[in-house]
Structures are given as structure tokens and as C-alpha cells.
Amino acid sequence: MAKAPRYCAQCGALVETRLIDGRQREVCPTCGTVFYRNPLPVASALVMNERREVLLVRRRQEPQLGLWCLPIGFAEQNETIAEAALRELREEAGIEGRVMRLLDVDSYASNYYGDLLIVTFEVEKTGGVECAGDDACETGYFALDDLPALAFPANDRAVFAARRAHEDEWAIRDSFQRLAQPVGSGWRVLPTPEARMLSDALVSFIEEHVAEISAAWLADVRSSATTTGYRKLDPAELLPKADFAVRQFGRWLTGVEVTGEAREFYRRLGTERRQQGVAESEVLSSLMLLKKHVWSFARDRGVWERPIDVYRVLELDRRLVLFFDRAMYHMLRGYGEA
């Protein structure tokens, strides 16, 4: 820790301690120079690779010798705090970078250096090869969920801030990748918790409002110019089938295997509509209307506070297409085979 000055750097007089601005401070009684002792500025850089692993360096010197930390060091004169972070990254880890955002600012009382002010930036790697240098003896990338004990609390705070900053982005990306997986020849099943998707959060919402969705569909299908044949059908027969279709879609969203059940339901439904004299185009339109009401109900009653909320409904629209395209196929197969 830095020691208090004994002699004035301006005139050489012996320094004494006085109460100034509510604090005990070193002051020169001869020339009046006050020696303010401020926290030392420290810059730190957090870099992540495409696997969402954090770059750490192992310290070769005290304090915290042998522990892992983010590339970190004191800011120097004639450089900004962001420039200091990039310089420390280059000196300790061997890579160049570009500052993306400020992650955290933290005060830290070091027994070794005194009061520190640690500023951490998220940095994107732009060049170089990872290699230890300066105060580091080793570099490595570590998974966010498997980090070693870090040398400084400010590093833990910065890692937490980075995770929070990317939380929605990563969730959307992961869910989109699962959505883009091959569907195959039937209804896709998502059987494990690891395969869950963001739009799954809308499942309970849909299930709680099946009656409202079905009622809105029934009113639409009995009034639309594209489904005039449904006006002669008994609402008491239409409504339960709409309820079942919506619940079946909800169960499919949660990973329940419905392939055989759905195939049988929609082929039988197509056969019934053919026998009732409903036109093939109207059968197709009725199912498109049901799909529309499921999606619009979730869309119109959602709370849009973050981009991830918008993505949930857009993803639901894509999954509606995946499910009901198969439903249309089997319903038309049943219609044609009647």
C-alpha cells in the first residue's frame, strides 16, 4: 500500500496531517499544498470466444499470485481507461481488441496497492494469438459455468454483467438454432429440457385460453366468405374439435409425441367434411383460420417489453406453420380418400 508523504514535493517542508473537507489529509504547513490520495485507476478486459468462453490469464506476480483473472492492470498517463484495457489485453494475453461496452465499475480495497477503482470493458478480439506475457504466466478460455476462482471480486461482477448483457441474445440464438433443425417427414418432437424453445413460454398461455381461441375461430369460420359451407354445420360439433386441435398443438409444443394421434384426427376430420359436403378449399381455409387465431391471440395479448418477447411470438408463428402444414396434408388426404 502506498505510504503517506513525509516531505512536501513542492518546498521540502515536513508534511503534517490536518482535517480538511471532513477528512484527515496530508498538508504542507509552509506552502499549503494538500496531498490528496485518490483510488488508483485499473482497467480490465473481458473477451469471449464464439463458444461463450471467457479469456482468463493466470497471475505470475502478487497480489493473488497463481490465481486466474481477466487481463487487468493500471491505467497510465496519456491514455484513456478504454485504451488502458486494450493495452493490458495485448500485454498480458497477446491479442488486439475493440471495446464493445462498459460492463462494470467497482471499488476495491487492496492490501497490496490501497484503494483501487476497477473499470471493466467487454472487448471483441480483432487479431493476435493468445499467449501469456507481462504479469501473466498462462492464458485460457473457460466456460461461464465452469470458471476457476477469480483473483478479484470485480472480475466476478464483470462476468455476471456480461452474462446478463447477452442473456436474451443467446436465448434467441439457441432457440432459433433448435427451430432450424430438420423436421423430417412428420411432426417434430422436442423431448428433452435441453431442447426447449423460447415460445414454450406461451404454451400455458394458449392452454388457459383454449375456449376463447376456439370461440373466436367458430365465429370467424361461420362468417367468412372462404368457409360458407361451415354455416350449415352444427356449432356443437365444430367447437369440441377446435378445442382438441388447439390442445393437441399445445401438447406438441411441450414435446409430447402426437404424430399418430394427429394423423388420425386430421384424416378423420377431412373424411367427415367431405361427407358433409364441405368444399375442399373451405376445409383448408378453416384450418388456416384456426392457425391464425392461435397466433393472433398470443400476439395481441402479449407484453412487449424486450426483443425476446417479440421473438417468442415470431417463433410461435413458425412452429404453427410446422404443425399445421402437416395437419393440412393429412386432412386433405382424408378428404381425398373419403
Catalytic residue among 79, 138, 167, 257: 138
The length of the chain in residues reads 338
3-state secondary structure of 57: strand
Containing 97, the helix (H) or strand (E) segment is strand 95-110
Nearest CA-CA partner of 68 in 58, 53, 83, 80: 58
Classify residue 99 by burial, with Cβ atoms within 10 Å: 0-12, 13-18, 19+: middle
Contact 19, 49 (CB under 8 A): no
Q: Which residue, 36, 34, 37, is CA-closest to 15?
A: 34
Kindly list the strands in the beta sheet with 23-27, ordered across the sheet, starting from the edge strand earlier in the chain: 16-20, 23-27, 34-35
**The C-alpha cell that represents 257 in the structure block:** 409425441
> Between the CA atoms of 142, 145, 149 and 154, what dihedral angle is there, to the nearest 10 degrees?
90
Which residues neighbour 218 within 8 Å (Cβ) at sequence distance 6 or greater? 235, 238, 239, 242
Single-letter amino acid code for the residue at 18: R
d(CA 261, CA 249): 11
Taking CB atoms within 8 Å and a gap of at least 24, the contacts of 200-207 are 200/253, 200/254, 201/312, 202/253, 202/298, 202/312, 202/313, 202/316, 203/250, 203/253, 203/254, 205/298, 205/301, 206/246, 206/249, 206/250, 206/253, 206/294, 206/297, 206/298, 207/247, 207/250
Known catalytic residue: 138? Answer: yes
Contact between 306 and 261 under an 8 Å Cβ cutoff? The reply is no
Helix (H, G, I), strand (E, B) or coil at 330: helix
Active-site positions read 138
